[in-house]
Copies of this chain bind each other. A is one copy, B any other.
Amino acid sequence: MARIVMKFGGTSVADLDRIRTVAGRVKREVEAGHEVAVVVSAMAGVTNGLVRWCQELSPLHDAREYDTVVATGEQVTSGLLAIALQAVGVEARSWQGWQVPVRTDGAHGKARVEAIEGEELVRRMGVGQVPVMAGFQGIGPLGRVTTLGRGGSDLSAVALAAAVKADRCDIYTDVDGIYTTDPRIVPRARKLERISYEEMLELASVGAKVLQTRSVELAMKQRVRVQVLSSFEDKPGSLVVDEDEFVEQPLVSGIAYSRDDAKVTLRRVPDRPGIAASVFDALAGANVNVDMIVQNVGADGSTDMTFTVGKADLARAEDVLGRVRDELGYEALLADPEVAKISVVGIGMRSHTGVANTMFRALAEKGINIQVISTSEIKVSVLVSADYTELAVRALHTAYGLDGPAG
């Protein structure tokens, strides 16, 4: 017997038939003898519609009222699923964020969960009742409804799993697990049986958008074992767990890519102490996040400085750097939005060398020029021309032995 939190996303509860299917799945776990709590999202499309209404009434609407409006989507699903569960003979009741309560800070629209008081839910699970908690929502310090930001139901589920000390948090979604890379690019991508929190974070933040990043961070912090699996198929998914749970740590778990960045190069910046600080202070002041950074020392007392920013921030970055050009004294600013970041991720890198070399060689063999390199403990990322995105991902997937059997 285990204690399980099951979370169902918007497409899994998109209509009454799917809600009935979800009820059937929950019933199966209950009949297998498990203690089950459920977390639900709003039915697909509902949240977008509510958000649009708030926007149309006032682009600068009060975030507290926005939260009041959009939190209703999950409330509806929680009540409907409780009804569907009762209809198949499973004792169930809905719980809103303010009822549990799910206490959050007062940052409306993107609140942080501070505490879930799970005692009553645990007691009810112990006597066979299934709590159906509305995801994405909580109650703020002043008694108002808060929401956790888009994708927040994943966060609700992980936080609930931590609060009730669940053995596992199963996230049902429209993909059936975490893959070694995007199967649309590499048909021979393999589903990972398990992946560490750290790897998941690196993969998620560079493009594999299966689990909301904050929910993975919370799972890692609270040591919640998370399973990602399909609500439409009946097969095991991928487990996101602590690296201690790996008998053998894979060298490389996956290849991620992102085309959300743009490259900025400052040509012939005077090579004097503090110049980098001046550049990045100016960008930070304009709220521009900088990712990869390289600097080449030149021979003539000047240097070329290259970095990446989010594509959406590029115009702002050019503007702010243009305004401080005289102060910085650089010769030219070159911007290139046509780049892709390709990343190789694996906890095994910590104890192995040569991972980066394999990457560089594989890319060189395909004639792909590397523009920028950046590394972290479990990741090597390179910036290449966007035209080469698919070719690079496929080459690396093969080079690291990740290809599954041909389909």
Contact = CB atoms under 8 A, between A and B. Distances in A.
Interface of A: 16, 19-20, 50, 53-54, 56-58, 61-62, 64-69, 71-72, 75-76, 78-80, 82-84, 86-87, 93-94, 96, 98-99, 143-145
B75 A58 contact: no
A143 B99 contact: yes
A19 B58 CA distance: 12
Given A57-B84, A69-B75, A72-B72, 8 more contacts: A16-B53, A54-B79, A57-B87, A62-B83, A62-B86, A66-B83, A69-B76, A99-B144
A83 B54 contact: yes
Q: Quickly give the copy total for this chain.
A: 2
Given A62-B82, A75-B72, A57 B94 contact: no
Nearest to A143: B99
Given A20-B57, A58-B86, A87-B58, A79 B66 contact: yes
14 contacts: A16-B57, A57-B83, A58-B84, A58-B87, A61-B87, A65-B86, A65-B94, A68-B75, A68-B79, A68-B94, A71-B75, A72-B76, A98-B98, A99-B144
A61 B69 CA distance: 25
Nearest to A55: B83
B83 A78 contact: no
Contacts of A96: 68, 145
- Most chain B beta-carbon contacts within 10 A, residue among A50, A80, A144: A80
Contact of A80 (B16, B69, B86): B69
Sort A-B residue pairs by CB-CB distance and give the 8 closest, nearest first. A69-B79, A68-B79, A72-B72, A58-B87, A65-B79, A61-B83, A65-B82, A57-B83
A90 to B, nearest CB: 12
- Most chain B beta-carbon contacts within 10 A, residue among A68, A71, A72, A98: A68
Contacts of A64: 93
A223 B78 CA distance: 40
